[in-house]
Structure 1
Amino acid sequence: MTREELLQAAAEFAAQNERSIVRDIKRLVDIKSVRGEAAPGAPFGTGPRRALDEGIAIARELDLTATVEDDVMGVAEVAGTSGKAVGIIAHVDVVPEGNGWDSDPFGMIEKEGYLIGRGVADDKGPAVLGLYAAKFFAQQAAKTGTAPRHTVRVLLGSDEESGMGDVPCYLANHAAPDFTFSPDGSFPVCNGEKGLYGASFVSPVLNGVLHHIEGGVAHNVVPDRAFAVLKGLCAAQLPAAEGLTFTDCAEGVRVDATGKGGHASLPEGTINAIGRICDYLLNHDLAKSEEKAYLELLHDLFAAPDGSLLGIASDDGLFTPLTIIGGTISMADGVITQTMDCRFPTSTNIETLNTTLHAKAAAHGATLVEGSCDAPFYIEPDSAPIQALLCAYNEVTAQQEKPFVMGGGTYARHMPNAVSFGIEEEKEVFPDFIGPIHGANEGFSLARLMRALQIYIVALWDLMEIDL
């Protein structure tokens, strides 16, 4: 097949399968696959398992060999002849829906050329594209009677958003592909990801104005809603403030806060709803003693997403500078727990973060509880697989882009010789009714999805020429 024939074949395949792709994305999006309580055969909850089974059903309908392995990972493939495998790893679990949707987040709709629903962009839509890209190679093999050089293996994970516990479980029993890309993130190709650091600031037992405080939907999402109940006060006593409403209740006053949510890796422009409550209590001198010290600690977290007020700011000149956000807050028996999500470059490390934040917490009478951590990774941009992906993107789009690094975390960091190669684009402009990944009204252009499928087909074709 000549280059022109390949590009034409990829475009025709996308056009011919467009409506089937929309149907299959909807099948996945309509399943609420948020992590839940473990159940038999469903270690990450019944929702992710239902989505996993549906993804495998789609794969089989596309005439791919498909199974669920270890109850955590779907595997669909087209067998090759070299003994090597090119992998595509996507995920069918999603973050909670959050607030502010204009439609059912788990009932995908089409509007003016866009698909809208939780997971359309992250990562159910791209997962379906991966399955259809494999179908292209299955059809070529059937037409020519010749199998592809390398096996095309599509992996469907079920725990990407809540810790990626599915990947080590799968890799304990199965070999990883020789090269893998995750259709999760942004084009043209991401050859490095920041380190991921999670932890919590836990207060001592408090006996102040706060009867309760709660907010956020996930540790890696800037919360757009939060509320607190204040003891011994009434709404009429409290000055008005932007983003806050006050309602009398049995215990005192309920304070509801709204902000502007977003992904933890891109906190610029977001407004943390929990931070609005904390700052209000501090600014109006409502907090008492130990409670005040703890809220001042949270202020330093919320007020400086670069970590400078916490003493952890860092920039290596390769990645973007360190970011940190506060995700969820809860209170039980007088103890408040605030989760954090930090994305860090190579100029700092997990040990430094732990040491600094332990000291910072202690200075405010609080405790740092360490969580999950992953070091940064980086693959040289001139490596053959990276160049294959980059050239496929540039050729299909008629652009001249270069690889980049990012703060988001994908499955690529847990697979050997892997990168993210996602459908988003920095220059993409969305209409007002479309929201971001992890936000309300998550959506994506159908035309861009079809173009992404063409890019994946061409990239896989070119990867077949590389000695992996």
Structure 2
Amino acid sequence: MNWKKLAHNYQAQMIQDLTTLVAINSANDPKQETTEFPLGPGPAHALQQMLAFGERDGFITKNVDQLGGHIQYGTGDEILGIFGHMDTVPAGEGWNSDPFLLTNVDGQLFGRGALDDKGPSLAAYYALRILKDQNIKPSKTIRLIFGTDEENQWRGINHYLEVEPLPDLGFSPDGEFPVINGEKGIVSYQLQFPIAATTGDQVLMSFQAGLRPNMVPQSATCVVQTLDSSELVNHYNYYLKQHPQIQGNALIQDQAVTLTLVGQGCHAMEPENGYNAATFLADFLADQRFDDQAQAYLQFIQTKLHLDFTGTKLGLAYQDETMGALSQSPDIFQYDQTNSGNIVINVRYPKGHTAGELQEQYQQSLPINGNVTAAEHAQEPHYVSDSDPLVSELLKAYRTQTNDLTSQPMTVGGGTYGRLLNRGVAFGALMPDGPNVMHQANEYITIDNLLQATAIYADALWRLTKNK
């Protein structure tokens, strides 16, 4: 089969379907959760729309309580699962176009979810459609399975798997090519700082940044009450000039100054690819005059977190020969002069330590009466051997369609549905030379990437389910 040629035949409809999916704001909003829509209407509507594509094209579909669902082809005893997700992270700020209007700029399709994970999910879907339209009968049941809470707590996919059987093997089109057969452990810790009396001529009234624990914050804001507003603003402007990679502004109202800083957001699995607005703002503020409570909070960020992506300053740094190094990403910041300060840090860790051991290390770094709790259930490290036939067959499909014979299976800090299965991996759709703009403003997937991924997935499905 010429999978590339077959994929190109679906280009127009694939882009139209992606336009329809991107138009649905499917970021989870707890305020909109109802009995009818347990994760809110956005994720449920995106799931409904994806399943509607399957119904339109003659597939068997199932919606499990608006939380998960699948599109099915084939009737074999074994189940091959392909795990995508219809939820996204919030759009955030900094877009050059409407994040919910798929915008084609020179072959780049911009929109929230275009790369994570609506575009890749559609590529996998059209690969399945190619097999069906070519009347290829798989030896396994193929289920394209969708969750609706992958960016948070995985409630959708977990509920789906309480109702439907766990596939025997599979992959998630929610990562990079050629094959991600290792995923680091993932856990978020909430660091809570002790309350102290606030006094002095300059008071940090509030400090806020961050949208989700798995997104490096693109913007940060603080309010400072001061007797010398002009001096603070002059120092801030000088700091901004010294750091051209960030931007900011100051607003003076009476004796309060609001400082806003804009950096570069990115995925928390690769925090070094962004400019954390919160740690830059704290780095500036820590050198100003504040009370003990604010100073402890700001100096912790400045001296222990700012520009340290491996936890070296906290004594956390270590690495595994196969899975690589630990990474940390402080992603949510909340401080109020009348309450304690909080920081949520997202950690991606390889084999070698447990989440409990890492939590204790953070605890030891805090001031007296500070506290560390796990903000979510830890996902343990996951690894499938290079020699597993699942990995080798996927690698063959990738190499056949790309002629890339040098790229090798890898371990990453991201967490995908691939880790749900003992024999589960992440497989595309980002190409090795493609920029990773997941969770960023101006997220996009190229048309070439979309079509090439479709061809790779079609080849892979054929290889994994062909009659021996």
TM-score (norm 2): 0.92
**SS of 2:45 mapped into structure 1:** helix
Q: 8 Å contact 1:294–1:365 — kept in the other structure?
A: no
**SS of 2:317 mapped into structure 1:** coil
- Matched residues in 1 for 2:169 and 2:273: separation? 36
Moved more, 375-384 or 412-421: 412-421
What residue is the counterpart of 2:178 in the other structure? 188
What residue is the counterpart of 1:64 in the other structure? 59
Instruction: List runs of 5+ in structure 2 lacking aligned partners.
Output: 241-246
What residue is the counterpart of 1:319 in the other structure? 323
Moved more, 263-272 or 370-379: 263-272
Q: 8 Å contact 2:68–2:148 — kept in the other structure?
A: yes
1:370 partnered with 2:374: yes
**SS of 1:196 mapped into structure 2:** strand
Partner of residue 424 from structure 2, selected from 418, 421, 427? 418
Letter of the 1:175 partner, please give it.
P
Moved more, 350-359 or 112-121: 350-359
1:102 partnered with 2:96: yes
1:346 partnered with 2:357: no
Please list the CA deviations of residues 289-318 of structure 1 after superposition, one character each: whole Å capped at 9, or x if unmatched.
132122222221233111011221111121
Letter of the 1:49 partner, please give it.
A
What residue is the counterpart of 1:460 in the other structure? 461
1:264 partnered with 2:257: no
Q: 8 Å contact 1:85–1:177 — kept in the other structure?
A: yes
- Matched residues in 1 for 2:36 and 2:315: separation? 44
Shift of 1:13: 2.1
RMSD value over aligned CA atoms?
1.7
Equivalent residues in 2 for 1:118-157 (5 A)? 118-141=112-135, 147-157=137-147
- Matched residues in 2 for 1:365 and 1:277: separation? 25
The alpha-carbon distance between structure 1 residues 12 and 427, as it changes in their structure 2 partners (threshold 3 A), is: closer
The alpha-carbon distance between structure 1 residues 206 and 34, as it changes in their structure 2 partners (threshold 3 A), is: farther
Q: 8 Å contact 1:64–1:77 — kept in the other structure?
A: yes
**SS of 1:55 mapped into structure 2:** helix
- Matched residues in 2 for 1:289 and 1:202: separation? 15
Q: 8 Å contact 2:351–2:381 — kept in the other structure?
A: yes
Please list the CA deviations of residues 73-113 of structure 1 after superposition, one character each: whole Å capped at 9, or x if unmatched.
12111122x31111111011000111110000111111111
What residue is the counterpart of 1:51 in the other structure? 46
Moved more, 311-320 or 86-95: 311-320
Shift of 1:234: 4.3
Shift of 1:277: 1.9
Instruction: List runs of 5+ in structure 1 lacking aligned partners.
Output: 1-5, 430-434
1:159 partnered with 2:149: yes
The alpha-carbon distance between structure 1 residues 125 and 458, as it changes in their structure 2 partners (threshold 3 A), is: same
What residue is the counterpart of 1:393 in the other structure? 398
Equivalent residues in 2 for 1:201-350 (5 A)? 201-208=191-198, 209-238=203-232, 239=235, 240=237, 241-242=239-240, 243-250=247-254, 252-284=256-288, 286-299=289-302, 300-331=304-335, 333-350=338-355
TM-score (norm 1): 0.92
The alpha-carbon distance between structure 1 residues 252 and 392, as it changes in their structure 2 partners (threshold 3 A), is: same
- Matched residues in 1 for 2:390 and 2:312: separation? 37
Aligned length: 448
Shift of 1:369: 2.1
1:35 partnered with 2:28: yes
> Structure 1 vs Structure 2: percent identity of aligned residues?
29
Please list the CA deviations of residues 372-409 of structure 1 after superposition, one character each: whole Å capped at 9, or x if unmatched.
21110101011111111000000000111221111111
Q: 8 Å contact 1:90–1:182 — kept in the other structure?
A: yes
What residue is the counterpart of 1:451 in the other structure? 452
- Matched residues in 2 for 1:251 and 1:183: separation? 52
Partner of residue 164 from structure 2, selected from 166, 174, 184? 174
Moved more, 418-427 or 117-126: 418-427
- Matched residues in 1 for 2:5 and 2:13: separation? 14
Q: Which runs of 4+ in 1 moved over 6 A?
A: none
What residue is the counterpart of 1:432 in the other structure? none
